[in-house]
Amino acid sequence: MDFKVLRGTLKKELLTKYRAYPMDFFIGNVLTGFYTILGAYMMYKLLFERNMNSSFANLTGTSDYLSYVLVGSLTYLFLVRTCLNVSRSLITELREGTLESLMLAPFRRVEYFLGNMLVQTLTTTMEVMISVLVAIPFGISFQYIHIGSFLLAIVVALYSFFGISMVLGCVMLFTRDTYISQNTLFAFVFLVCGITFPSEYLPAWLRTIADFIPITGVVTLIRNSVLLGKGISEQSTIWINTLLISTVYVLIGFILMQKCEEVALEKIHS
């Protein structure tokens, strides 16, 4: 691994966030988390009137719908903030006119994208931690949390988010579009990956698609670790499946990225 490229990317991205995206951008992201939490709370209190069907507890292992939704929503917030910035890194270079110079520099894709991922993980973690503190008065519960399983779930989640980011980045760079591609993906993930309700409520064909999106496994692992206190060995099948699917996404992303870079560079001069 070329640590010079990694350090250079980290320094560049940190300076960009500090100078171009000041505190008001950070506050805006925290408010997004707050609105998500508030929406879940109002839905549970006003729409469901604290009454849940018995099938929900049978499928999820808990009757605490509020904690279920809040954990899923915070995971989704982390996904969106991480994937959005990592996947847009190269198309941002293209729009700023620096893609050609980046390709001519001692560019290493692994170190470049890993640097972007580390910076975004740092900033997003602070945003999510504040959102967690905000969620505590709304009733989120951590009394059964399994620390070891939860920490490992976070590592697997970051790996999965990285894989999704790479594939999404290829789509963005090839189509030169960010708005439609990212919002379509995030809306679909929100619908089928069990963010606010068990995916078992979906039609069978949608559940099959959800099984091939690593976010489904990530949300399940984090919920099981936080809400049910399940250990690592108890979820071995989910760990393995999520890691395998995430690895496929990472490999596909890196394989396609070089081709998408070539197409993007050709379009500059067309």
Tens of pLDDT, residues 203-241: 999 999 999 999 999 999 999 999 999 999 999 999 999
Predicted local confidence at residue 101, as pLDDT: 79
What's the predicted TM-score (pTM) here?
0.90
Tens of pLDDT, residues 74-96: 899 889 888 877 888 888 888 87
Number of C-beta neighbours around residue 227 at 10 A: 22
pLDDT over 90 (residue 174): no
Task: Give the residue numbers spanning the domain of 232.
Answer: 3-268
Domains in the chain, number: 1
The mean per-residue pLDDT over the stretch 168-195 comes to 89
Mean of all residue pLDDT scores within the chain? 85
Q: 61 falls in which pLDDT band (50, 70, 90)?
A: confident
Q: 158 falls in which pLDDT band (50, 70, 90)?
A: very high
Number of C-beta neighbours around residue 270 at 10 A: 5
The mean per-residue pLDDT over the stretch 146-163 comes to 94
